């Protein structure tokens, strides 16, 4: 018996007429109609064509800004993770706005629109000397010392409420004699 491999793909169709025809085919189409849909890559694994009912449409493979998990269920209650999807197949002439080369600007859902610009911000441009100085100061603090030119003063305070006014304030703690 041959082993069955399960593959997960996201097909984003930019042509509304083709999207409607595919939806109709999946809902009410014949098996022959469904089998007429093919994905063909000839020279490149990034560009190809999507053939539906004998008509080819341009296809482009784009990386998603983040990996999406896919799940399946057998009883409509319990979900089982069945794979990860990191790419989207975009069919049609109008390719959605592209981010960095070969990457989709948008994710799968509405909250992931412009994910690169909104969530994954650019690295800060900080001089290496400043980073090194801050690192040394943090290591000094963690070792129990103070950075050069500074000193730590430890004050112990207690919260006291004035019985006459009912207003509270922090006041320095006094050591009680034993």
Question: Does this model's pTM top 0.75?
Answer: no
- Per-residue pLDDT reduced to its tens digit, 78-92: 999 988 998 888 898
Note whether residue 146 is domain-resident.
no
pLDDT of res. 173: 85
Residue 25 lies in domain: 11-118
Q: Is the Cα dihedral 10, 15, 19, 25 positive or negative?
A: negative
Note whether residue 37 is domain-resident.
yes
Note whether residue 105 is domain-resident.
yes
Note whether residue 166 is domain-resident.
no
Domain tally, the chain: 1
- Per-residue pLDDT reduced to its tens digit, 102-141: 778 788 888 888 877 777 667 778 899 999 999 999 998 8
Question: 86 near 103, Cβ under 8 Å?
Answer: no
What would you report as the CA-atom Rg of the chain, rounded to the nearest whole angstrom?
Answer: 31
Note whether residue 165 is domain-resident.
no
Note whether residue 99 is domain-resident.
yes
């Amino acid at each position: 018996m041959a082993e069955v491999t399960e593959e997960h793909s996201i097909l984003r169709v930019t042509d509304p007429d083709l999207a409607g025809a595919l939806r109709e085919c999946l809902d009410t189409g014949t098996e022959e109609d469904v089998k007429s849909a093919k994905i063909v890559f000839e020279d490149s694994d990034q560009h190809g064509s999507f053939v539906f009912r004998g008509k080819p449409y341009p296809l482009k493979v784009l990386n998603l800004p983040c990996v999406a998990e896919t799940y399946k269920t057998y009883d409509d209650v319990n979900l089982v993770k069945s794979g990860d999807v990191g790419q989207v197949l975009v069919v049609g002439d109008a390719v959605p706005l592209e981010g960095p080369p070969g990457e989709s600007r948008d994710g799968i859902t509405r909250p992931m629109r412009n994910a690169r610009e909104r969530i994954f911000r650019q690295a800060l441009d900080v001089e290496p000397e400043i980073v090194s100085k801050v690192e040394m100061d943090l290591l000094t603090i963690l070792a129990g010392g103070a950075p050069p030119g500074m000193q730590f003063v430890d004050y112990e305070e207690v919260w006291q409420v004035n019985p006459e006014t009912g207003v509270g304030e922090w006041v320095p703690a006094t050591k009680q004699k034993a």
